[in-house]
Structure 1
Amino acid sequence: MPDAVAFPNVRELTQLQIDAVDRWHREPIDNPFDGIQSLVCQQHEFNYRLWHEEDKARSPSASDTEIATVKRAIDKLNQARNDMIEKIDDALTEALCKAGVPESTGPINTETAGSAIDRLSIMSLRLYHYREQADRADADDTHRGKVQQRIDLCAQQHADLSHSLQQLLDDIVAGRKQHRTYRQMKMYNDPTLNPAIYAAKK
């Protein structure tokens, strides 16, 4: 009989993300967790930083130099974000192996658990910032009504994805679905694969 898989449930992981977004807007970014939760928090941090860098890139007052600097920061954060998705999936593989869960011959899901956790991270950021918009002192009723509709839709999508991810994890542990880590294999930051980089060195 396989041991229990040491992977937090989805409710714990999504609450970690929700709490961190709120806390990081008031306090310095931290990561007080261990194990897979620490990986999820670190991945969430990259999304948090990305969100605010992308806001800067869209400022109409940003100079070309500022936009170029922000673009480079976004590229690095995106690379780190994708690397962390892989690390989360690798951690799940390790947890399954340690628990003695045999490899499954079941179907493969269209996205990995790490990718779904990334999407939930972005949704928690979207919900926070929509609620921030709803609380703006200068917002009129029309603005608040539009924002509230989007909050309701985002909340439903967050709940749906949370439920689907928990089902996926349950299916993986039970052997009903296979788990794999899919390597992102991004090319744009690799100086040997991006022609705009290696051609410039010639």
Structure 2
Amino acid sequence: MTESNPRHDIDADSIVNLQQELVARWHEQDIENPYTGFLALVCQQHEFNYRLWHEEDVARSPSVSDTEIAQVKRAIDKLNQQRNDMIEKLDDSITVRLHDANVMAADTAPINTETAGSTIDRLSIMSLRLYHYEEQLHRTDADGDHKAKVAERIAICRLQHSDLTFALSQLLDDLFAGRKQHKTYRQFKMYNDPSLNPAIYQSAKRIAC
């Protein structure tokens, strides 16, 4: 059964506003997640992107030792896995909400090329990019050419962020109106699974011998 306009509490504007607020807040105070419901999942997923962003900065520093690089690389792998797991949890939560709203799209209804969870992830990264570009814009040690380049990129990123927010809003409306099918797509990352990553299980065999 499909309802024409079932109510849902997943709002694209609320999601992107939260992501932007959290980026600014977490640069000033400890990371915390006081939210409930779907926004709690959004916050948790955003946290992994926030931590990833800063680990990636460290990984590219020329002053970091090889030992530190190895530690950072392992942290990045773990955070990436957690980030991807949370994308699936966002989509799983939408599946539950669609079921609770008694929404079932027809088998012939179109499927979006990107899930809502994946779009929320992209918006999370975009909010981080915008925040750090704004930092670059206000650097006192940067020259005019640097700031002009940054200002141009900020304008492009803001447009992309706006477009993506609108696309998410449309997708959510389509999903909860039954106009599009919703599925969680499992990413099944292989590199962190000792039984699937040849570099891990072959190494274990050599150690055992």
Is the aligned partner of 1:176 residue 2:179? Answer: yes
When the two structures are superposed, what TM-score results if normalisation uses the length of structure 1?
A: 0.97
In the alignment, the residues of structure 1 paired with residue 135 and residue 112 of structure 2 have an alpha-carbon distance, to the nearest angstrom, of 35
Deviation of 1:5 (Å):
4.2
Taking a change above 3 Å as real, the CA distance of residues 189 and 5 of structure 1, as seen in their structure-2 partners, is farther
Distance 1:24 1:104 in 2: 42
Indicate which of 163, 166, 190 corresponds to 2:169. Answer: 166
Which residue in 1 is equivalent to 2:16?
14
Query: What amino acid is aligned across from residue 119 of structure 1 in structure 2?
Result: R
Aligned ranges for residues 120-139 of structure 1 at < 5 Å? 120-139=123-142
Instruction: For residues 146-183 of structure 1, give each alpha carbon's deviation from its aligned partner in whole angstroms, at most 9, with x where no partner exists.
Output: 10000000000000000011111111111111000000
Correspondence for 2:31: 29
CA apart distance, 1:24? 0.1
Q: 1:141: how far off?
A: 1.4
SS at match of 1:66: helix
Q: Which residue of 2 aligns with 1:111?
A: 114
1:192 is aligned to 195
2:153 paired residue among 150, 165, 170: 150
Q: Is the 8 A contact 1:127 1:151 kept in 2?
A: yes
Distance 1:6 1:174, change over 3 A: closer
The one-letter code sitting in structure 1 at the alignment partner of 2:41 is L
1:90 matched to 2:92 = yes
Q: What is the alpha-carbon distance in structure 1 between the residues aligned to residue 120 and residue 132 of structure 2?
A: 19
Structure 1: which amino acid aligns with 2:57? D
Match of 1:201 in 2: 204
Deviation digits for residues 8-42 of structure 1 (CA, Å, limit 9, x no counterpart):
21000000000000000000001111011000100
Q: What code does the residue aligned with 1:122 have?
A: I
More moved, 31-40 vs 118-127: 31-40
SS of the equivalent of 1:122 reads helix
Structure 2 counterpart of 1:77, one-letter code: L
Matches of 1:111 and 1:102, distance apart in 2 = 19
Structure with more relative contact order (C-alpha pairs < 8 Å, separation 6 or more): 2
TM-score, length basis structure 2: 0.94
Q: CA deviation at 1:139?
A: 1.3
Whole-angstrom distance in 2 between the partners of 1:38 and 1:7: 13
* % same residue: 64
Q: Matches of 1:146 and 1:104 in 2, distance apart?
A: 47
Q: Which moved further from structure 2: 153-162 or 102-111? A: 102-111
State the distance in 1 between where 2:69 and 2:104 align: 49
Runs of 4 or more above 6 Å deviation: none
Gapped regions of structure 2 (runs ≥ 5): none
Aligned to 1:74: 76
Which residue in the other structure is 2:40 paired with? 38
Aligned length: 202
Unpaired runs of 5+ residues, structure 1, are: none
- Larger mean CA deviation between 36-45 and 137-146 belongs to 137-146
Report the alpha carbon displacement of residue 4 of structure 1 after superposing the two structures with TM.
3.6
How far residue 102 of structure 1 moved from its aligned partner, in angstroms, is: 1.9
